[in-house]
Amino acid sequence: MNIPYTVEERPDTGLYNAKLGVWLFLASEVMLFGGLFSAYIFLRFGAPAGAFHEWGQELNVPLATFNTMILITSSVTMVMSWASLKLNDFKKFKLYMGVTLLCALVFLFIKYLEYTAKFDHHIYPSTNTFYAIYFTLTGLHGLHIIGGMAVLFYLWLPGNKMWNSDPEQFTNRIEIVGLYWHFVDLVWIFLFPILYLL
């Protein structure tokens, strides 16, 4: 079976299939988080004045700031790993990708620390609407990280084979997961202030 434009770009649209596909997927993700942000606004308006801010005081801002940095770093290493492939430097790719994965692991570990700290203080999603939306948003974001990691890992370890058989397609794949990864980072950039700071 031979489907056109899986690797090369279609001349009139300037895109290869997966690129359009992933952007459509990201569009749907925007709407998914849109629904949750909308819920956040609704609940915030519904809570007594200032309550959301107050409830949020339990959260650990320094830790979350550090985590934000980690995620931003992983985004840079992600785009660097793609650039390395573009420069035909597979070794560097392996390195950057490895760092990206490592960052993701650290991020999840810190998330785990935060969650357990909350549970130790008997704070659960059912405690109040702030924690309901906090756990939902960060939990769903965490799931996105885990999903992304699975794909990254799949491209990282067996990557050699794919690179050797079809470097161009492999580079495209890295670009595609890269787009997804940056999007997850982007979501966090908004989650961080609305949950921790406001």
Q: Indicate whether 194 belongs to the interface with another protein (CB under 8 A).
A: yes
Q: Indicate whether 9 belongs to the interface with another protein (CB under 8 A).
A: yes
| Backbone dihedral region for residue 16 (phi beyond 0: left; psi -120 to 50: alpha; all else: beta) | beta
Which one among 103, 107, 111, 129 touches another protein, defined by CB under 8 A? 129
Q: Indicate whether 35 belongs to the interface with another protein (CB under 8 A).
A: yes
Q: Indicate whether 106 belongs to the interface with another protein (CB under 8 A).
A: no
Contacts with another protein in 69-88 (CB under 8 A)?
69, 72-73, 75-76, 78-80, 83, 86-88
Number of neighbours of residue 28 by Cβ within 10 angstroms: 10
Query: Nearest-CA neighbor of 107 among 148, 56, 154?
Result: 148
Contacts with another protein in 11-30 (CB under 8 A)?
13-21, 23-25, 27-30
Q: Indicate whether 68 belongs to the interface with another protein (CB under 8 A).
A: yes
Tell me the site size for another protein, rule CB under 8 A. Answer: 80
3-class secondary structure, 27: helix
Query: Nearest-CA neighbor of 175 among 17, 10, 1, 13?
Result: 17
Q: Indicate whether 154 belongs to the interface with another protein (CB under 8 A).
A: no
Q: Indicate whether 94 belongs to the interface with another protein (CB under 8 A).
A: no
Q: Is 163 exposed, middle or buried (0-12, 13-18, 19+ CB in 10 A)?
A: buried
Q: Indicate whether 115 belongs to the interface with another protein (CB under 8 A).
A: no
Distance CA 93, CA 78 (A): 9
Amino acid residing at 107: F
Q: Indicate whether 150 belongs to the interface with another protein (CB under 8 A).
A: no
Q: Indicate whether 113 belongs to the interface with another protein (CB under 8 A).
A: no
